[in-house]
Each structure stands twice: as structure tokens, then as C-alpha cells.
Amino acid sequence: MADTPELQARKTIHVGGEWLEAVSGATREILDPADALPFVLVAEGDEKDTDLAVAAARQAFDGGQGVWPQTPVAERAALLRRVADLLVRDREDLGRLEARDAGKTVEEGRVDIDCVADAFRYFADLVAAEAPGRVVDAGSPDIHSVVVHEPVGVCALITPWNYPLLQASWKIAPALAAGNTFVVKPSEITPLTTIALIDLLTEAGLPAGVANIVTGPGHSVGARLAEHPDVDLVSFTGGLVSGTKVAQAAAPSVKKVALELGGKNPNVVFADACATEEGFDTAVDQALNAAFIHSGQVCSAGGRLIVEESIRERFVAELARRAAKIRLGRGTEDGVECGPLVSEQQRTKVESFVASALEEGAVLRTGGKRPEPSAQRPATGYFYEPTVLDACHREMRVVREEVFGPVLTVETFQTEDEAVALANDTEYGLAGAVWTTDAGRARRVAGRLRHGTVWINDFHPYLPQAEWGGFGKSGVGRELGPAGLAEYRESKHVYQNLAPKPVRWFAG
């Protein structure tokens, strides 16, 4: 993996197999969100760097025999497995780098790296086990008709700041498995583990030009990738506003677009799920995990607790009591359970949501402010207390819009129909959960929820084998599973007439 001296040398743009500085010479300081101090200097690329990277990816795709698209599937799969092994080898270093860059705990960083390795192995196994094509019966022994899959071409992969390497792997692994080349643009504030991954791809034997990275801002690098005429597919994970701009920029060239744009995810708890002490404790524990893992900076975060009225007071009281005990601090310190927000801008955004909620009548049960500084929480860090807002309703901005911070809102219901109506009353449709011991109710409610992923008596697990996507403004397209591989392919129907004859359509 790329070490600190190389990063300090500002060569974090990788084009055609070479590490480069930005054409303009510009750089950006990467801050540790735990203390707001810079600890790495990276290149700040722009449109010129982007054009060079796309040209390298185009050449690696179109360059004739021996280029990546013509590499046998078995060899592509073997390379992905080697990458997974290298990720396991560097797990501790990468996990700590992810924690420091994004503000999460080291344990979360380690789990992320495990999931990244799983993704590479999954897509290696998936593509290696596929049939070479689907034969279509043309009704004649003289006709051979088959549908085959081919790589899309040059892929522009734009990833978010909250799960830098995990989200990159969901795009890079299937893109490579399918035979594509790519240019990845990580978030300008958390690029470090993606830079390291490019080194691992090279170490695993990926040919020069197949994997390219441009570090830089979205308004220049991301915008240019989305509109570039030599890019065949753009895959973006991020906010709704930026995703809309990506789709608009891609439209004139009619390139393939995949968008994952976040969510406002309901966690529906029925009273019967809490009928026993164990059930109650489990539902509370999972509600905490749903809302406060990685300080709530998760697209699938269960930030909307929708709880049956009969258990609301007991449930929320215990939830608030436990949320107040969450240990905040620098993610690399022992005993820390929750790290800082990623930036001052993000913390200011969270504070504005909480202020508007209180003005609109929400009841603050815990949190709602910056914590007192401590040895584990430098005063300059971007920390914010886990916050529980009770007595919320649909008209509140904090209930309608994605907060992306450690804020949990509480709504209540009395009937199953009311619970479903509240859960579906959102412009988004990424994920949601239902808690109940009634198997029939679980199936009914899960079937009625308009969300791309629905958990029953759980929250947050995902499987590489399953599809990940959403309804409404949560995006377009799918990641993971067979559909995730299909996003990076085109289908071709090859029709061969083994005994061609004149058709005599015209008398002449």
C-alpha cells in the first residue's frame, strides 16, 4: 500500500500505471476529523488530470489483443482473489488509515476491510462460475443464436466520504470482473484508502492503464467524468443534489448511469417485539446501532424510529439513557465507541437540523450539543453527541431530509396500516426494518415497505450476494449480487446463419 512519504510527495494521481502530481501542481491537506489537524498532503486534480486518466483507461480498453477486456475470465477472477489476499495482509494498516481519514473507530475500519475483501472474492467467484453465453433456440439447425455479455468500456466511479474503500470496492470489483477499465474519483476529504487500493491492484498484477485515480473535487473532476464523451458508464454514490447533477451531465452522451443517493430509513418497532426483556433489550440495542454507527454517517442509517405508542415511553427512555453513555472520542483510541463527524461543515449541518427540530416542537431526550473536550476528544475535533428527538412528526425538516449525523427522531403509531404509511411517507426508499414476533405481520409489512432493502428483526447487515439499491430518490441501478455485475456489462445477441440462402424479397 502507498505509505506516508509517497503521499507526502503529493503523487496521488495514478494514470497509465504512473503516480503523478496534479498538472496544476495544486494540493489539498487531508484533516484528521478528531482534531482538525492536517496529516497528509494529496494532489488536487482538475479537468486536465481527468482527461489524461480517461485517455489512459480508453487506451487500456481499446488497445487490441492482450488488453484487459480480452483477458480470460479465469485470469481476471484470479487477480481479484489476489487483491482480496493483499487486503487481508494489510488489514490492520488499512483499517487504521480508514479510521483516521473518515473519523470512524478502528474496529469499524477493520470490519470495512473485511467486507472489501469479501466483495472482491464474491465477484471473482461469480464471474468465474458463469456460463459463456445463453443459447437462444432459433428453431433451425442452420442457425446458431446466443446472447453474450461484454464489458461496458471505460467506467467513471465516483465514491462518497463515509465508507471510502467499501463503496469503492462495490464498484471496482464488478467493473474489473466484467473486463472494464476505470477512473475512480474518491471523495476529496477521504481519499487515502482508495489510493492504497490502487497500489494493491498494481501489486496483484493489473495491467497499466486499467485502474486510474484522480484525487480532486467533485465540481471539476467528478463533473468532467460525468460529461466526458469517452466514458461509457458513470457510477455515483453520494447526495441527491450531486447525483442529480451527475445524471444531467451524463444525459447528452446517453451513457449508462448508476446512482445511489442516500435515504431516510424507517425502523419500525411493534410492541410484540418487546414483550420479553430479551426482545426489548435487543430492539433497543439495534435501534442504537441503526442510528449511531459511524456517528449516523451511513446512507442506510435507521434515523427514523417509528415505535408503537403503547411502548413508546419505556422504549425511548431506555434508548436515551444508553445513547447518553456512548463513549465519544478519537477512533484510534481504545474504548471509543463513536468517532467525530467527518468535517466542520457536516457538524454545522447536523446542528442546524437539531435546532430546526426543537423550534418545530421536538422534545430533546438526550444529546443535542457538542460534548465537553477530554483527552480522547480534542476541543478542535468535530464531535457531536448522539441525539434523540422525541415527539417528532412528518412535517418536520429533520424527519423529511437526510441528516447524515447522530440524530434519531421518534414517531409513533397505533395500527399496522399507520406504521406502513409512516414508513413509506418519504421521498427516499433505500432501506428499512420491521421488528415483530408475528411472522405473518413481518411478511406483510416487509412486502408493503417501498424500500430497496428491508430487514426483519435486524438492522444494517448486507450480503455481497444480495442486490443493493432503492426506490424513489434513493437512486437508479443496483450494486452487489448478480445485478451489480450486470451494471458493468452490455448484452450482445450473436446470430449466425450456418446455411445462408437468398431471401428473394424483391422481384428484381
The catalytic residues are 260, 299
| Residue-wise burial string across 404-443, b where 16 or more C-beta atoms lie within 10 A, e elsewhere | bbbbbbbbbbeebeebbebbbbbebbbbbbbbbeeeebbe
Give the DSSP H or E segment for 212: strand 211-213
Burial of 272 (0-12, 13-18, 19+ CB in 10 A): middle
Count Cα atoms within 13 angstroms, Cβ side, for 138. Answer: 15
CB 159 within 8 A of CB 187: yes
Cβ-proximal residues to 498 (8 Å cutoff; 6+ apart), any chain: 141, 142, 143, 144
- Side chain identity at 377, as an amino acid letter? R
* 38 φ, ψ (degrees, to nearest 5): -70, 140
Give, as one character, the DSSP assignment of residue 210: S
CB 250 within 8 A of CB 257: yes
- Side chain identity at 335, as an amino acid letter? G
CB 232 within 8 A of CB 155: yes
- Side chain identity at 299, as an amino acid letter? C
CB 338 within 8 A of CB 295: yes
CB 468 within 8 A of CB 477: no
Integer CA distances (angstroms), 124 to 29, 98, 148, 216, in order:
36, 24, 18, 30
Q: Please give the radius of gyration of the chain, using alpha carbons only, rounded to the nearest integer.
A: 24
d(CA 143, CA 447): 44
d(CA 141, CA 360): 73
d(CA 204, CA 82): 6
Count Cα atoms within 13 angstroms, Cβ side, for 249. Answer: 26
d(CA 157, CA 237): 9
Q: How many whole angstroms from its chain centre is CA 284?
A: 26
DSSP-assigned states of every residue in 30-46: EEETTTTEEEEEEE---
Cβ-proximal residues to 443 (8 Å cutoff; 6+ apart), any chain: none
CB 83 within 8 A of CB 61: no
